[in-house]
Each structure stands twice: as structure tokens, then as C-alpha cells.
Amino acid sequence: MKFAKTSTATLLLLYSLSNSLFAQDKRQEFKKSGVYFGVYTGTWFGTGNSSKLGNSIMGGLLLELKSEKSALGFNFDFFGNLGKTEKLYIMDDNQIIEKNSYSGVQISLQYSQEIYTKNRLALEAVGGVGYGDLSFSVPDKDNGVGKSSFFVDPGLGVRYFIGQETFLQFKLQYNLANYKLKDLASTNIGGNFVTTKLILGWR
């Protein structure tokens, strides 16, 4: 008799505890949809002939409209090399200039779609289209020598919501662009790029 009463009490306790945990989980549920702002840092490095540019540091700003499963955002990237590149030769007004630094900006429209989710974690297919400019400064001139290019950058992303209104996201993308300078005398820097971004977003 005592065993039956104890078993009943244990079952009631477990039932009460499970209900309590379920209610707690329900209170912790959150909606992902909304307008997010973000900042990020990352790397931007070349493949093929563009590897002569060395590894670049990237930073940027994000404005993103997100639904529960997908997102569409506007990105503004800026990048430049902090270390030395290979020795590069740039043609300017029929004169060859030796350079070992550069800078650039990119603007793009980025899309992401969840392909796997578990709790606050999501694996996403990402990609975007945009326009960028890479330039080399020239002494005594306001405008440097450079090249502009359209680009597309497919890739993968991992997003984790660390709070009700905040997320961290890591993105790895392959940037198909053409920043090769037009003249034949300049160093050939044609090639695509790999970018990584670590993003902090909030709403």
C-alpha cells in the first residue's frame, strides 16, 4: 500500500515537473522575424592571380529583413590589406608605379535560407549579388587606380540566436568577381575571392 502511494506520488511529481519544464520552454520560444541591424568583421583573400593581393581584413554593416526561415539583407563591406602583398606594378598615365597596399568597398544584396535548424541554431544556404571597387592610391592624386566589378557570392552560413533579439552568424562565401586591371602592363590580379564574416546582429 505504501509502495502504491509512493509510486503515485512519484508519478505526480514527474508529471508536474515535466509540465513545468514544458511551460518554461514555451516561455523561452521567440520569433526570428524582424528588421535586424548588424556589424561584422572577416577576411577577404584571393585565389589564382588575385592571391598576389595577399589576405585582407574586412569589416562592414548589415541591414536585414528576416522571416522565420529566410532573410534578405543589404551589406556594405570595406576591406584593405594590413600586411604586405607581393610587389605589384600599376600603370598610371604611362608610368609604372610600385604598390604593396590597396583598399576597396563592396555593396550587395544578400539572401539566406535555412536548410537545417535545431533550437536556436540554423545552417543556411547564403548568397548575394553586388558591386565593388578595388583601388590603389597614387601619390599627388585624389583618385587612385583601380577596377570596379559586379559579383555573385554563393556560400554557407551558421546562425545562432544568443538572445531574444540578438544573433551571431558565420558566413563562408566564394566571391566571383573580376578586379583585373585593364592594361597589360599592370600586374595581373585577375581571379576570384573567398570571404569569411562573423556577424553580430540585433533588432
Closest CA to 103 of 139, 128, 77, 129: 77
Task: List 78's β-bridge partners, or say none.
Answer: 59, 105
pLDDT of 188: 84
Q: What is the pLDDT of residue 194?
A: 94
Rounded to whole angstroms, how far apart are CA atoms 181 and 146?
A: 7
Closest CA to 153 of 192, 114, 181: 192
Contacts of 178 (CB under 8 A, 6+ apart): 147, 149, 190
Residue 84: per-residue pLDDT? 61
Question: What are the cell numbers at 117?
Answer: 535548424
Using only C-alpha atoms, what is the Rg of the chain?
25
What single letter denotes the amino acid at residue 119?
N
Question: Could you say which DSSP state residue 176 is in?
Answer: B
State how far the Cα of 191 lies from the Cα of 25, in Å rounded to an integer. Answer: 49
Spatial CA neighbour of 109 closest among 151, 146, 141, 140 = 151
Cβ(144)–Cβ(137) below 8 Å: yes
CB atoms within 10 A of CB 145: 20
Pairwise CA distance, residues 75 & 77, whole Å: 6
Average pLDDT per consecutive 10 residues, the chain (203 residues; last block may be shorter):
49 49 51 94 89 88 96 95 71 76 92 94 97 82 80 97 92 93 80 94 94
pLDDT for residue 51: 85
Cβ atoms of 189 and 45 closer than 8 Å: no
DSSP-derived 3-state class of residue 85 = coil
User: From CA 164, how far away is CA 65, in angstroms rounded?
Assistant: 16
- Output the pLDDT for position 100: 75
pLDDT the model gives residue 60: 96
